[in-house]
Chains A and B, each alone.
Chain A
Amino acid sequence: MKEPKVLIIVPAFNEEETLTHVINDITANLPGTDIVVVNDGSSDATGAVAESLGVTALHHPYNLGIGATMQTGYKYASRNGYDIAVQVDGDGQHMANQVSALLIPIAKGEADIVVGSRFLGLGEYSPSLARGAGIRFFSKLVSAIIGEHITDTTSGFRASGKRTIKFFSGHYPDDYPEVEALVILHKLGFKIAEVPVKMSERVGGKSSITPTRSVYYMVKVLLAILIDMIKKHN
């Protein structure tokens, strides 16, 4: 079997401090793998940093949000014939030496999407009380809907196979898309798998999730999931 063509998609919104580290980490651990940085209308030097690193850089002319940013990456992957696309956040949380674990189930044809989970034994991630409760809640909810146990539904560290890339390039949830994407994929019969990964603390920048936003996050994602269950997808 020929080697699958792998693309690393790095969404970046104002990540000038961490982007260099993230890209160097990828090129060091996965030499020769194609990388595309999707700069979501950053107001800092993210765009210039991406250009200087010699990777493919896509620049949104204004801020479209994380969902549309990922989708731009998937559109690029789809049009350039990639077999597997891996999301690696621009904030340095996702470690490139963990990527190969995500690729295996897809390369074997066992899954259409593989989620890297922080809660399957590797590493010592301990979220704050509130965040932990939110993560557990969505894990329970999504597991119940999907009928298989998913521990880390909010993880943005994931790999998609060709079929999933094609689907995502046409349909991708707008904001806080991680949980919702799993529900939609399940509904359409895509195979979802989880593998244990380690993640590091953020090396710089700030999390986009503030207390007010986390309430919005819960409500929006919950609503989106409920609607996805009755929505027509094609």
Chain B
Amino acid sequence: MRIYQVLSILGSLTMFGFVVDFVRRGLLKEKYSVLWLACSVAILILSVQKGLLDLLAGYLGIAYAPSLLFLVAFLFILLIMLHFSVVISILHEKNKTLTQELTLLQEAIKEAGLLSANKKRKK
């Protein structure tokens, strides 16, 4: 076993461990852990099965097989980031709607005489 294999096996196992632990402790939603877990499993498989890595690299015309590991990791990172951009956009929209509702509600409360004009608002 080559040293790079040992390193990438350790790396992917560490990543897998961290992600599982984060989910277990409630720091990361299951929904957002899937791509990370898939990434670490893919890297792990390709690191353990050197034959598979060489075979795939051969198919793709990659002379130096370990660089396929980088490619796989890179593609996963792109995918994860795109996923984040989508999630952020959804959150942005929800956050906006929520803020607008709050704004309108605050006015309605004031209108109903339950809140004096300048009291509650900061600034």
Contacts and interface: CB of A to CB of B under 8 A. Distances in A.
Interface of A: 38, 42-43, 47-48, 51, 56-62, 64, 68, 71-72, 75-76, 79, 174
Using C-beta atoms within 8 Å of the partner chain, give the interface range for chain B.
10 to 19
Interface stretch (B12-20, B71-79, B96-104): B96-104
B104 A59 contact: no
B107 A76 contact: yes
A48 B118 contact: yes
A42 B121 CA distance: 12
Nearest to B122: A61
B27 interface: no
A165 to B, nearest CB: 14
Interface of B is mostly: helix
Contacts, number: 41
B103 A47 contact: no
A207 B123 CA distance: 23
Interface of A is mostly: mixed
A42 B106 CA distance: 17
Given A60-B99, A61-B99, A68-B96, A47 B104 contact: no
Interface in B75-123: 96, 99-100, 102-104, 106-107, 117-118, 121-123
B55 to A, nearest CB: 41
